[in-house]
Amino acid sequence: MNFDIAYKVMLPALQFFAEVTHSYGWSIILLTLAVRIIVWPLVAKSTTSMMRMSKLQPQLKELQNRYKSDPEQLQKKMMEFYSKNKMNPMSGCLPTLIQLPILFALFAAFSGPPFGDKLIDVKVNVVEKTQDLKQAETSSNNSAYISPDNKAAKIVVFPGESTVAQGDSLNFGTRAIEGELSKDFKATWKVVGPDNKNAQGPESDPMNAAISSDGHATFQKPGEYHVIARIPGIARNEHFGYLQGLGKVANGLDLLKPNNWDTLSLIVLFGATMFISQKFTVTTPKPAPGEELDEQQLIQQQTAKTMPVVATAMFFFIPLPTGVYLYLVVSNVIQTLQTFLIMKMPEPAFVDVTDGDSSSSSNGQSSEKPNGKKSGEANGTGNGGTSSSSKKKAKKNNEKSGK
């Protein structure tokens, strides 16, 4: 499903922006901006909910302390508190879950053509006897391909998964099941196994199996082999600003090499922009005078500090194209600006639900009664419980008696 979204939505959008700007770097930035605009309502709802939930913590803790000996009443008061304040504890998670298919589709679009090569893997079992031989028409997996003239196609390898006899050969090729391949399209081939089944690993010993540049494969030793077709990404080596290749992949110690410092800088920028964005979004709980943070608040505080570091460290070891990191940095910057705008919006006061206590909302305003009136306004009374109409009558009586 994610590949279908990437192929039918994300890649056409990338192609459109690339045709307009003549740059896949700007295409990534514009696609990122478009996606952030589309998901803005979900982001606003999620961010507002998380910020309000953070500010709710002192009130929730007060309820927990007050009704800790009565779990049933505590649950009732918490539900009432959420209801009065129009809050749902899960409302911050749902928008994020809805966005996940879009995020996965973006990664699928950035991780293959046009920004990087994509491997199509076909398993071949070589047996000693000639019985029970079989052959699928095409490979079960496929890859997108963007041509230099910005035409998209979906490519499969033929034949697909096969069982052949020792000494047999197969002629592999590629074809488009959607779109059209340009005349100059050419996949590169290799065969791995039987001792190594890693598609990224070295080729098989020619004495065991070999494949020519045009896809003619021979198998001399029984075992499990994998024929790999590499689909090229046309923008893999495209420069953008100081970035030396949008499809360049480097991780681990390779990032310390001078030719990979551009990728390293994007990973560091990702961590920095994530930290700034989180500073806006996450409100670190502060204990009341004379109190200490409870275990949940300590975990929340520690998570807020370590999450950017952990996420950044993770990307040091995950091999992703440089274009993916460009997307992540731009996305974080836009999200930070969106969060800043959300913080400028007026925020409604919290409503206290304590029983019979004189209480106020968290921002110092008068708490609301269930009927929506503020304290002291019920039944039309004001100062000292005297209504305005009663004051007028008293004034008239005084005037009459004065006469």
Q: Do the domain assignments include residue 10?
A: yes
Domain shared by 187 and 287, yes or no: no
Write out the two tokens for 239.
């420069």
Domain shared by 144 and 246, yes or no: no
Q: Do the domain assignments include residue 247?
A: yes
Nearest alpha carbon to residue 215 among 270, 166, 157? 157
Give the DSSP H or E segment for 60: helix 40-66
Q: How many CA atoms lie within 13 A of 30 on its CB side?
A: 17
Per-chain mean pLDDT for the chain: 77
Cα separation of 360 and 118, whole Å? Answer: 60
Cα separation of 77 and 67, whole Å? Answer: 9
Q: Do the domain assignments include residue 286?
A: yes
pLDDT for 289 equals 56
Strands 152-158 and 162-165 come out as unpaired
Please, what is the Cα angle at 27 between 22 and 32, to 5 degrees? 165
Q: How many domains does the chain divide into?
A: 2
Domain shared by 155 and 297, yes or no: no
Q: Do the domain assignments include residue 58?
A: yes
Residue ending a domain, among 215, 231, 247, is 231
Nearest alpha carbon to residue 178 among 130, 202, 136, 145? 145
Domain shared by 106 and 246, yes or no: yes
Domain shared by 250 and 203, yes or no: no
Encoded amino acid at 142, one letter: N
Weakest mean pLDDT among 54-58, 89-93, 126-130, 354-358: 354-358
List phi, psi (to 5°) of 98.
-65, -30
Whether 237 and 245 have beta carbons less than 8 Å apart is answered as: yes
Encoded amino acid at 359, one letter: S
Q: 371 pairs with which residues across the strands?
A: none
Domain shared by 225 and 256, yes or no: no
Whether 155 and 143 have beta carbons less than 8 Å apart is answered as: yes
Cα separation of 317 and 310, whole Å? Answer: 11
Q: What domain range includes position 218?
A: 117-231
Given a cut of 80, whether residue 317 has pLDDT beyond it is yes
Domain shared by 207 and 260, yes or no: no
Domain shared by 131 and 223, yes or no: yes
Classify the phi-psi angles of 242: left when phi > 0, otherwise alpha if psi is within -120 to 50, otherwise beta.
alpha
Cα separation of 362 and 389, whole Å? Answer: 33
Domain shared by 105 and 168, yes or no: no
Mean of pLDDT values over 245-267: 89
Domain shared by 76 and 179, yes or no: no
Task: Summarize pLDDT for 367-387 with one digit per residue, the tens.
Answer: 443 444 443 343 444 444 444
> In this structure, how many other beta carbons lie within 10 angstroms of the beta carbon of residue 26?
14
Q: Do the domain assignments include residue 380?
A: no
Residue ending a domain, among 312, 343, 374, is 343
Task: Summarize pLDDT for 164-204 with one digit per residue, the tens.
Answer: 998 889 999 999 998 888 888 999 999 998 877 777 778 89
Encoded amino acid at 257, one letter: K
Q: Do the domain assignments include residue 299?
A: yes
List phi, psi (to 5°) of 208.
-95, -50
Task: Give the contacts of 19 (CB within 8 A, at least 6 positions apart).
Answer: 150
Q: Do the domain assignments include residue 27?
A: yes
Domain shared by 133 and 60, yes or no: no
Query: How much is the pTM?
Result: 0.69
Q: Do the domain assignments include residue 153?
A: yes
pLDDT grade, residue 80 (50/70/90)? confident
Domain shared by 181 and 90, yes or no: no
Residue ending a domain, among 211, 231, 251, is 231
